């Protein structure tokens, strides 16, 4: 992702400009994780990044543009992390399903604090919600594409629909866990690992008619 206009600069200046932008994004991410959107001000980001306030404004114009850039940066990292986690140890069908489900839950857990900020912001900010919805739909496409090899093994009139339902189930469970924590809807403790294992079994039973092995 690049939020900075193309500049006709010598290589050393371009490298410094990219480094400055990266420091600003890292500082903004840290502030969001620590205190949410209320903690993120241009002055606070500049101080954390060790740059001038003007440097932040030149690149992002203000807080709203900076938050938008931080959301896109998080989405880029989230997508790359999900794809990396999808890599299966085996090509057996239940192993593929387990890899896809655990890939999603593991990525949500890894990005939990920052994801919580943007989920909460999306409840009141249509622009944040729209970008989040586009990213979620893209993740659904990646999920379904990864599991295409098992489509002939799904005994249902619409196997593609079943893949979509499994994605929605995992997505919804992860979003609820990120927003509200472990004990919001039940007083029974359930760790991320336990949640993942149960979702893997549910997905395997629904898609393949047998639990994970």
Looking up residue 56, the CATH number of its domain turns out to be 1.10.10.60
* One domain for residues 135 and 159: yes
Model confidence, pTM: 0.85
Backbone angles phi, psi at 19, to 5 degrees: -65, -45
Q: Considering the domain boundaries, does residue 101 fall inside one?
A: yes
* One domain for residues 90 and 21: no
Write the pLDDT tens digit of every residue in 78-89: 999 999 998 876
Write the pLDDT tens digit of every residue in 100-149: 999 999 999 999 999 999 999 999 999 999 999 999 999 999 999 999 99
Does the pLDDT at position 18 exceed 90? no
* One domain for residues 43 and 95: no
The whole domain housing 145 covers 68-208
Pick from 100, 87, 204: nearest CA to 154: 204
* One domain for residues 39 and 109: no
* One domain for residues 93 and 169: yes
* Residue-wise DSSP of 12-46: HHHHHHHHHHHHHHHHHHHHHHHH-GGG--HHHHH
* One domain for residues 53 and 152: no
- Confidence at residue 4, expressed as pLDDT on a 0 to 100 scale: 39
- Output helix, strand, coil percentages for the chain, rounded to the nearest 5: 75, 0, 25
- Confidence at residue 13, expressed as pLDDT on a 0 to 100 scale: 60
- Confidence at residue 11, expressed as pLDDT on a 0 to 100 scale: 54
Asked if 151 and 166 count as a contact pair (C-beta separation under 8 A), the reply is: no
* One domain for residues 151 and 193: yes
* One domain for residues 80 and 24: no
Does the pLDDT at position 7 exceed 90? no
- Confidence at residue 1, expressed as pLDDT on a 0 to 100 scale: 36
- Confidence at residue 14, expressed as pLDDT on a 0 to 100 scale: 74
* One domain for residues 160 and 189: yes
Output the six-digit token pair for 136: 């979620």
pLDDT range class, residue 8, cuts 50, 70, 90: very low
Output the six-digit token pair for 87: 């890599």
């Amino acid at each position: 992702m690049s939020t900075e206009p193309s500049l006709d600069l010598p290589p050393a200046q371009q490298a410094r400009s990219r480094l400055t932008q990266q420091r600003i994004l890292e500082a903004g991410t840290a502030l969001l994780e620590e205190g949410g959107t209320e903690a993120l001000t241009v002055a606070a980001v500049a101080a954390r990044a060790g740059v001038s306030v003007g440097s932040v404004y030149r690149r992002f114009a203000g807080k709203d543009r900076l938050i938008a850039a931080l959301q896109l940066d998080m989405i880029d990292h989230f997508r790359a992390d999900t794809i990396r986690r999808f890599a299966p140890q085996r090509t057996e069908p239940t192993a593929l399903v387990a890899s896809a489900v655990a890939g999603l839950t593991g990525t949500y857990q890894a990005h939990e604090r920052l994801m919580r900020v943007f989920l909460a912001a999306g409840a009141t900010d249509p622009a944040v919600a729209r970008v989040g919805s586009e990213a979620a739909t893209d993740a659904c496409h990646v999920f379904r594409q990864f599991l295409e090899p098992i489509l002939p093994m799904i005994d249902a009139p619409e196997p593609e629909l079943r893949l979509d339902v499994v994605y929605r189930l995992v997505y919804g469970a992860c979003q609820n866990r990120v927003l509200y924590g472990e004990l919001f809807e039940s007083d029974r403790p359930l760790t991320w690992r336990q949640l993942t294992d149960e979702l893997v079994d549910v997905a395997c039973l629904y898609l393949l008619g047998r639990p994970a092995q």
